[in-house]
Amino acid sequence: MAKKGKPINKGDVSGAHPEQDGSIIGRIETLKRKRRAEEARAQACEESIDQLRYEFAKELGTLRDCFSDVQERITKIERLGARLENKQNSLAKDGPPASHSALEKLRRKIDAGVPASGKISDLETHLATLEESVRTMGTRMRGIRHLSVLSPTDFSYFWFEDQHRGPADQVRESLRPFLPHFQRCRRVVDLGCGRGEFLDLCGSEGVGAYGVDSNEDMVLHCQRLGLEVNQADIIEHLYSLSEKSVDGIFCSQVIEHLPMHTLVSLLRESYRVLKRGTCLVLVTINPRSLFALANNFYLDPTHVRPLPPETIRFLAEDAGFRKLEVSYYAPFGEDYSLLPLPEQAGDTLEEKIRVNFDRLNHVVFGYQEYAVIGLK
């Protein structure tokens, strides 16, 4: 799975200054409408997928019932055939009985137990219909996915990230606060390592680390820098690892690209492959910051859904991680947030305005990222 970058290059964000964008209330309402529209779209996709799953399960249940009926008929025929063979052997040995009524009765039972050719034909037709239904469902599910997000293979994702993620040196320094969680580690895996900023940082600080990314351009870029990177899907790579085989797992700007069932698999497999007492660090965009949500999250067309920190914390705890903490990073600068009012305001109205400005800054221009850190 390719690492997906957070857009932190502020020079690419247009209309960021409140004086240029007009009323802050209007901007908030616009952000809310965008969010509601995206949530409605995601909900519609989820409902369509649930309906397809229901139809598939129903068809599969019908098919199983048909097979069960056929198996019962076959078993009955085998039993009747054995009885007929015994009767025939008895006739060959003892001669014809005084009456053939019992034998004729047995033959009628066998004839009744054999499914008619029409029934077999109906079963074959039903099987063909089910196969076509499965193919159609797969096509529809792929279509639903394309309605919501693009795949990194649909366009040059390396070029996209190079334009919108920011300079590599700046990104590398922004990841430095996570380094203490991996001190003295010899085998840390960076899932979705992208351009390799964290791997480069680990190498400079003596931390043994390697990366995994599904994007060929990202992998070639890292290898040209002398970094150890494997091209693979991150979930499949975790499946391939032995239990308690890595010293730490770092995963930045990736989980917002994953469907929920894949995210759950990532957490459970991460817990399995980590050694006791080592860390998992997950970094993603903070959806509590409306500005980060509208400008950073929705800028990337491969993002699947925003992830509230409470959700990730719960899923990590459910997977077995302990001592979980949520930390916030990448605050907006003064060029983006509302200017604070003087704290010496003595008037009650002015004090309320100052408090409201602080709250508004927190909601609209809060931290751009958060990290969930868990210990096995």
Domain edges within the chain: 55-148, 154-375
> CB neighbours (10 Å) of residue 226?
10
How are beta strands 369-375 and 274-285 bridged, if at all?
Answer: antiparallel
Least confident of 9-23, 102-116, 130-144: 9-23
Give 106's contacts (C-beta < 8 A, 6+ positions apart). 80, 83, 84, 87
Q: Greater confidence, 65 or 204?
A: 204
Q: Greater confidence, 7 or 237?
A: 237
Check if the beta carbon of residue 201 is closer than 8 Å to that of residue 176. Answer: yes
Rounded mean pLDDT of 356-367?
Answer: 79
Check if the beta carbon of residue 17 is closer than 8 Å to that of residue 335. Answer: yes
Q: Greater confidence, 192 or 81?
A: 192
Summarised one tens digit per residue, pLDDT across range 29-60 is: 777 787 777 777 777 777 777 777 777 777 77
- What CATH number should be reported for the domain whose range is 154-375? 3.40.50.150
What is the pLDDT confidence band of residue 375, given thresholds at 50, 70 and 90? very high
Check if the beta carbon of residue 286 is closer than 8 Å to that of residue 134. Answer: no
Distance between CA atoms of 264 and 315, rounded to whole angstroms?
7
Distance between CA atoms of 128 and 178, rounded to whole angstroms?
54
Distance between CA atoms of 90 and 108, rounded to whole angstroms?
19
The pLDDT of residue 203? 96
Summarised one tens digit per residue, pLDDT across range 147-170 is: 445 566 667 887 888 887 888 899
The pLDDT of residue 321? 97
Q: Greater confidence, 157 or 133?
A: 157
Check if the beta carbon of residue 250 is closer than 8 Å to that of residue 179. Answer: no
Structure tokens at 310: 């409470």
Q: Pick the most confident of 112-126, 265-279, 286-300.
A: 265-279
Distance between CA atoms of 95 and 87, rounded to whole angstroms?
11
The pLDDT of residue 256? 95
Give 250's contacts (C-beta < 8 A, 6+ positions apart). 178, 182, 188, 189, 190, 191, 198, 209, 281
Buried b (16+ CB within 10 A) or exposed e, 173-211: ebbeebbebbeebeebbbbbbbbbbbbbbbbeeebebbb
Q: Greater confidence, 186 or 116?
A: 186
Distance between CA atoms of 375 and 320, rounded to whole angstroms?
9
The pLDDT of residue 374? 97
Rounded to 10°, the helix 348-364/24-94 angle is 40
Task: Tell whether the model's pLDDT for residue 137 goes beyond 50.
Answer: yes
Strands (DSSP E) contained in the chain are 188-191, 209-213, 229-231, 246-252, 274-285, 322-329, 369-375
Rounded mean pLDDT of 308-332?
Answer: 91
- Greatest extent of the chain over all pairs of C-alpha atoms, in Å: 121
